[in-house]
Structure 1
């Protein structure tokens, strides 16, 4: 009976996705990057995996910030975006590899693949929010 329980627990378990973290080996580099580029070192959501194909743990980081107001109809707070930035592991450090604005909140189900990272967010302009998948492509 114990063998059957162990067997069922092994094959019925739900796969775990990487969790968003504010630390890890790239955290210092990523926070310095945001501070230099945007002037803010706010909390960053970081996931680790290999998108470069070299076996090293690259990173994708999500950072919420407010874009400067454009146009007379935009209210303060309407310009909040999520920037997804790729950081490639190079030796003992990391190199910024590019970024893209994505929509939504709660980045999750991150999949690292050859030269791309896919993430799912909840787009909140409707209630309940709609899940949307985004692909961030890395340079060659």
Structure 2
């Protein structure tokens, strides 16, 4: 909100949205819906709503199904039914190397679910468990070769 001071009616508000999906068509559909809603809100008034792209679109990077399978098996061995597959098309390193090597990502929980923030933290136990899952997934992948 701008000017962002107490007891002052804001003249402008900004909302930042980030969409992630491994399917580019889904991202395009979400974008179309957001733009349509913005146009409808502007038409209805009394405020104008504009969609402004603040960064270049990045195509989703699809993670390797085989590596994801090995990670899933290792996670199930260590924490049966307490893990979940999280489809991610996030950039990170795979965005750069997936064109040359199979890639997958392993996420471990952040305390309180806080991520991408200076307050982000992970328990030592979850870091160790994540390393064990990664090591077992790597061993399983190598044994398959």
Same fold by TM-score greater than 0.5: no
Give the structure with the higher percent helix: 2
TM-score by length of 2: 0.27
Question: Which structure has more strand as a fraction of its residues?
Answer: 1
- TM-score of the pair, normalised by structure 1: 0.28
Query: Which structure has the larger Rg?
Result: 2
